[in-house]
């Protein structure tokens, strides 16, 4: 028994040193983990700040609801955009203009024809005829590039010019 006691006493120093090393290592590991946990807590508190929600689950639910509202708003915007895209070709954005002398024997290029049309050649042609006795302006509606009123050669030219003005 004496021998066992001596053997244990001889090895006790090494056991105590080993236990001290393990305790110190666990203490250092615990401090490192505590530091990481504090950083995570600060990030969590920063993320939750100003949300009006107490926990992460509530925040995620709130974000999901907001995402649903955003998707609804985006769908409405898509529908409006489709409506606008269908209206754009109908806008009278193409213009053709020509100045000319309506009466070749006298005067200058003071007469004009101007066409305002859309992609479908719907719109209007305005013609101003100038001579010494007076000035006259005519407006003729266009549907598919044609009018119920007779079109002059100059008016047909400005319609073609406007149609080319891509």
What confidence tens digit (pLDDT) does each residue in 64-102 have? Answer: 999 999 999 999 999 999 998 888 777 767 899 999 887
The angle formed by the CA atoms of residues 40, 45 and 47, to the nearest 5 degrees, is: 95
Q: Residue 111 CB: number of other CB atoms within 10 A?
A: 20
End-to-end CA distance of the chain: 110
Cα–Cα distances in angstroms (integers) from residue 117 to residues 48, 162, 163, in the given order: 57, 7, 7
Token output for 4: 């066992």
Cα–Cα distances in angstroms (integers) from residue 47 to residues 41, 69, 110, in the given order: 10, 21, 72
| DSSP result, 45-67 | HHHHTTS--SSHHHHHHHHHHHH
Q: Residue 166 CB: number of other CB atoms within 10 A?
A: 5
The model's pTM = 0.49
Q: Tokens 């003005």 label which residue?
A: 165
pLDDT per residue rounded down to tens, the chain (166 residues)? 788 888 888 888 888 899 999 999 999 999 999 999 999 999 888 887 877 777 888 878 888 999 999 999 999 999 999 998 888 777 767 899 999 887 776 667 888 999 999 888 889 999 999 887 888 999 999 998 889 999 999 999 999 999 887 5
Can you count the helices (H) and strands (E) in the chain? 3, 4
Token output for 9: 């006493």
Q: Are 35 and 28 in contact (CB under 8 A)?
A: no
């Amino acid at each position: 028994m004496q021998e066992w006691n001596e053997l244990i006493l001889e090895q006790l120093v090494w056991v105590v040193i080993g236990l001290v090393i393990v305790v110190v290592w666990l203490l250092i590991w615990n401090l490192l983990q505590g530091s990481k946990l504090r950083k995570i807590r600060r990030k969590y508190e920063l993320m939750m700040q100003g949300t009006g929600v107490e926990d992460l689950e509530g925040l995620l639910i709130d974000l999901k609801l907001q995402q649903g509202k955003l998707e609804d708003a985006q769908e409405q915007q898509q529908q409006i955009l489709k409506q606008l895209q269908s209206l754009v070709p109908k806008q009278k954005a193409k213009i053709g203009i020509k100045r000319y002398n309506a009466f070749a024997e006298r005067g200058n290029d003071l007469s004009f024809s101007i066409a305002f049309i859309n992609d479908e050649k719907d719109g209007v042609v305005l013609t101003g005829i100038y001579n010494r006795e007076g000035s006259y302006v005519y407006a003729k509606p266009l549907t598919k590039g044609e009018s119920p009123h007779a079109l002059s050669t100059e008016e047909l030219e400005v319609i073609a010019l406007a149609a080319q003005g891509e």
